[in-house]
A and B are shown apart, each in its own frame.
Chain A
């Protein structure tokens, strides 16, 4: 039984990619106008760069594509590879055993990957260079609140929807905890086109697990 699972035009290119799923294998075929189809064994995998999760197996600019190296039917092990050279090595976007639902493209070309064991709100954050496969841990057990040009605002060590409000410098992975343990939400003042600019104000809600005189809405500054 053959079925066509994923298919689509590669953004910015005259290439039609489609996947022929034939349990337990899958084949990706690339067809260009007038050319013959190139086929290779792979499972294309939808991996979204926005949280609506209506994504695709290409990055938005068509430079990279995503696949799963897990056998068909098993939980996905998502990989990223160059769409220009589909046969080139592909790299795992998250550690083995974890799940990831979406990513962010960073200004420096890397992708920001949250990977979790059971709870998406307790994801570890990695900055992965899809060109080399180099992955750098940025944060732990939390979720991303905002991604800026040079900084990420995240809630880390999240327990019961509250965590450490943390600003992480993308270049150095240096993390600054702005409020410990009990930040429930935060809003950053946009500066220019950067949504987490150094010096920008952050309003955040703090609610301790038990009634505390510190409960309330506080203001901080992005370091």
Chain B
């Protein structure tokens, strides 16, 4: 008996490699998996060696129980698993604490110790608690292969019309090349202007009417040039919320939608690193705890697309880079977060010395945020400072350089009670724009795009989410915006109301309405080209309303149908078919009325399912005034937009696919047969694409390896983005491309 105990003590030192193999086998086979080793590792050669026999005559009497201690960690990530249940021969003996540690009493003798935790494969090992020496165990649980563990976050059902994406939806959605911001192109209400360019028009507005925020900071550019990746490393994201309209009062200064992304807090338990290498770039994110508390994460990415393009054409020079930094630390009662991110792109499309045609876009943002518990609520303040640099040619003649510096303070106080959540806040943006133009070719005028100017944007808002009536959640909000640009002031009061009525437990109605405002903007957003034209054009505004139904009554399916109407006053190109656009001319932009109405459907199967994804469909009609009493479809109008995004987990392999279809957007044809040119609308051909993706996760004891391959537009479909018109229609020439975007990558996470 005692000899047997000693034997067990020795055999507890299991060869890690053999357990890995077993874990991998069990992972795919659905049996128990994981590994076990004493802390500090086993002496080489001990595993499988002959047991050290103890002289029976000198052994003390065996106690009834013995103590077994150790830690339970996630295999691969080494994250501690709190609350894991331990049983010895089917008898519950305890569970792990917050650090994943345990110390349980187990009856002496040869026992089967099993540890189980939600989202992980159970792990069983044999122990004899009374055998010597009692070394602490490290038990590594393999994540379940049939459905991953998700932290249950209790969130009130939002009254605002939002879609939240997180986890694999951000980084593994087929067709996105792993970029979270691209995931919105498969959501309802979003038209991709000209795939594969990541430029999105939301609910009939211009792309420049939708704002992108990262932790509340406006992001001036989302993607690098030439189909480059997002300027933010994908694993820096925690989640992303998309509001196609009716966004909360905490956001403002955009008349269409908002995409609000949050960064992930760096892990404070121990150092982590993630390195990914793809066909066209390589990136890394490293996080580590700070001495004295808190943690830091640094990410960056380097693309070798530039070298590839430069190799193919030595006259073209393309460079880009980006960086991100987040530091979290508690100082006294304050939870502080420092966030810095930036990006730079340089493209010289002609000869290397062609400084006139050089395009150079860059920005930097540094933000410090403090959160303070106060009077039963939370006070949150932040200030973000930034700089933007844009250099671009105008008319291929001369360059304009715009340097901008800005400071954006935010302050909000939120208090939660049983009946209401109340938030009051303030946000502002102070910016100075300093354009440098080679050649002062236009006379001084009220058009200030090419002039040095200051902008002071201030807003105050109040929001209350009321739950006084059962089954009704009502959120009235009020936002007051003040805009001052180059000495011209405009103000706008934006009342908003959103409501959610739970008709039944699995069926709810959602209503939203409100007014929104924005400074004049270019149809497409360019860093540094902001805050201009207020004197000539006034504010852009919108009135928005939507009614929706949400239900969960169908098994594992969240279904939402929303009808909406949005009326806009937008700034738009005066000439929708400019031959030589001149942004410095005071008639470059003009105010236009526009209206968008439609129906959006989203059927979503959550990530917790083996088969997950969503189906989205948008039926819309987007109209715009073209002046002179003429009305036509808006530039980005696509009547039908249909997406199916699906992923299926099979063991540790995930197969994903996305099908996209959109009807063609309008283009302008002209006829000069009868003297002055008359123009009319035609439509580009419809476009559909199929994107495929496969991800394979390999779990090692101390790190994870993800291998993935993606094929965007796998069927090589042709996207027509314009039609060049000849003297007669027979000579019309479609401008198009067929491109398949492959991506193969390996990501290691330590």
Q: Hey, which bits of chain A sit against chain B, CB under 8 A?
A: 95-98, 117-119, 122, 124, 126, 137, 140-141, 156-157, 159-162, 180-182, 184, 206-215
Distance in angstroms from B342 CB to nearest chain A CB is: 35
List of 8 A-B pairs having minimum Cβ-Cβ separation, nearest first? A208-B628, A157-B587, A210-B630, A214-B629, A212-B629, A212-B630, A159-B575, A182-B628
Q: Which residue of B lies closest to A137 (CB)?
A: B443
Contact B443 A124 (CB under 8 A): yes
- Please tell me which one of the listed residues B439, B574, B628 contacts residue A214 in the complex, with CB atoms under 8 A apart: B628
**B586 close to A (CB within 8 Å):** yes
Tell me the count of chain B residues lying within 8 A, CB to CB, of chain A: 32
Q: Which residue of B lies closest to A124 (CB)?
A: B443
Q: List 27 A-B contacts (CB under 8 A).
A: A97-B440, A117-B582, A118-B580, A124-B442, A124-B443, A137-B443, A137-B444, A141-B586, A156-B587, A157-B574, A159-B575, A160-B575, A160-B577, A161-B676, A161-B677, A180-B627, A182-B628, A207-B676, A208-B628, A209-B576, A209-B627, A209-B630, A210-B679, A210-B680, A212-B628, A213-B629, A214-B629
Query: CA of A97 to CA of B439 in the docked complex: distance in angstroms?
Result: 7
Query: CA of A141 to CA of B586 in the docked complex: distance in angstroms?
Result: 8
Task: Give per-residue flags for B602-632: 1 if the beta carbon is below 8 A from chain A beta carbons, else 0.
Answer: 0000000000000000000000001111111
Residues of B within 8 A of A157 (CB): 574, 586-587
Q: Find the residue from A95, A159, A206, A214 having the highest chain B CB count within 10 A.
A: A159
**B353 close to A (CB within 8 Å):** no
Contact B443 A184 (CB under 8 A): no
Residues of B within 8 A of A141 (CB): 585-587
Query: CA of A131 to CA of B445 in the docked complex: distance in angstroms?
Result: 25
Q: Hey, which bits of chain B sit against chain A, CB under 8 A?
A: 395, 439-445, 574-578, 580, 582, 585-587, 590, 626-632, 676-681
Q: Find the residue from A126, A161, A211, A214 having the highest chain B CB count within 10 A.
A: A211
Contact B628 A206 (CB under 8 A): yes
Q: Which residue of B lies closest to A95 (CB)?
A: B443
Contact B441 A97 (CB under 8 A): yes
Given contacts A209-B626, A210-B626, A210-B630, contact A140 B676 (CB under 8 A): no
Distance in angstroms from B740 CB to nearest chain A CB is: 37
- Please tell me which one of the listed residues B441, B574, B630 contacts residue A211 in the complex, with CB atoms under 8 A apart: B630
Residues of A within 8 A of B626 (CB): 208-210
Contact B587 A140 (CB under 8 A): yes
- Please tell me which one of the listed residues A96, A140, A160, A181 contacts residue B586 in the complex, with CB atoms under 8 A apart: A140
Residues of B within 8 A of A182 (CB): 627-628
Query: CA of A215 to CA of B444 in the docked complex: distance in angstroms?
Result: 34
Q: Find the residue from B442, B577, B677 having the highest chain A CB count within 10 A.
A: B442
How many A-B contacts if CB must be within 8 Å? 86
Residues of B within 8 A of A137 (CB): 443-445
- Please tell me which one of the listed residues A117, A181, A211 contacts residue B627 in the complex, with CB atoms under 8 A apart: A181
Residues of A within 8 A of B586 (CB): 140-141, 157
Contact B439 A96 (CB under 8 A): yes
Query: CA of A122 to CA of B588 in the docked complex: distance in angstroms?
Result: 12
Distance in angstroms from A177 CB to nearest chain B CB is: 12
Query: CA of A119 to CA of B630 in the docked complex: distance in angstroms?
Result: 26
Query: CA of A206 to CA of B631 in the docked complex: distance in angstroms?
Result: 16
Contact A140 B443 (CB under 8 A): yes
Not counting A97-B440, A159-B587, A209-B626, a sample of 20 additional A-B residue pairs whose C-beta atoms are within 8 angstroms of each other reads: A95-B440, A95-B443, A96-B441, A118-B580, A137-B445, A140-B445, A141-B587, A157-B587, A159-B578, A161-B676, A184-B676, A206-B628, A207-B628, A209-B627, A209-B630, A210-B631, A211-B630, A212-B628, A212-B629, A212-B630
Query: CA of A122 to CA of B677 in the docked complex: distance in angstroms?
Result: 18
Contact A126 B443 (CB under 8 A): yes
Contact B632 A210 (CB under 8 A): yes
Distance in angstroms from B657 CB to nearest chain A CB is: 41
Contact A209 B628 (CB under 8 A): yes
Distance in angstroms from B317 CB to nearest chain A CB is: 28
Residues of B within 8 A of A140 (CB): 443, 445, 585-587
Residues of A within 8 A of B681 (CB): 210
Contact A211 B575 (CB under 8 A): no
Residues of B within 8 A of A215 (CB): 628
Q: Which residue of B lies closest to A161 (CB)?
A: B676
Residues of A within 8 A of B441 (CB): 95-98, 117
Q: Which residue of B lies closest to A207 (CB)?
A: B676
Contact A180 B628 (CB under 8 A): yes
Contact A211 B585 (CB under 8 A): no
Residues of A within 8 A of B582 (CB): 117
Q: Which residue of B lies closest to A182 (CB)?
A: B628
Distance in angstroms from B441 CB to nearest chain A CB is: 5
Query: CA of A137 to CA of B442 in the docked complex: distance in angstroms?
Result: 11
Q: Which residue of B lies closest to A115 (CB)?
A: B443
Q: Which residue of B lies closest to A205 (CB)?
A: B676
Distance in angstroms from A140 CB to nearest chain B CB is: 6
Residues of A within 8 A of B679 (CB): 209-210
Q: Which residue of A lies closest to B445 (CB)?
A: A140
Contact A208 B629 (CB under 8 A): yes
Q: Find the residue from A141, A157, A184, A210 having the highest chain B CB count within 10 A.
A: A210
Given contacts A98-B441, A118-B580, contact A208 B587 (CB under 8 A): no
Residues of B within 8 A of A162 (CB): 676
Query: CA of A124 to CA of B587 in the docked complex: distance in angstroms?
Result: 12
Query: CA of A198 to CA of B40 in the docked complex: distance in angstroms?
Result: 99
Query: CA of A211 to CA of B632 in the docked complex: distance in angstroms?
Result: 10
Q: Which residue of B lies closest to A116 (CB)?
A: B441
Residues of B within 8 A of A210 (CB): 626, 628, 630-632, 679-681
Q: Find the residue from B587, B626, B681 having the highest chain A CB count within 10 A.
A: B587
Query: CA of A20 to CA of B590 in the docked complex: distance in angstroms?
Result: 50
Contact B440 A96 (CB under 8 A): yes
Distance in angstroms from A160 CB to nearest chain B CB is: 6
Q: Which residue of A lies closest to B585 (CB)?
A: A141
Query: CA of A206 to CA of B627 in the docked complex: distance in angstroms?
Result: 12
Residues of A within 8 A of B578 (CB): 159
Query: CA of A167 to CA of B345 in the docked complex: distance in angstroms?
Result: 47
Q: Which residue of A lies closest to B582 (CB)?
A: A117
Residues of B within 8 A of A95 (CB): 440-441, 443
Q: Which residue of B lies closest to A179 (CB)?
A: B628
Contact B587 A160 (CB under 8 A): no
Residues of B within 8 A of A96 (CB): 439-441
Residues of A within 8 A of B587 (CB): 140-141, 156-157, 159
Query: CA of A98 to CA of B441 in the docked complex: distance in angstroms?
Result: 7
Distance in angstroms from A115 CB to nearest chain B CB is: 9
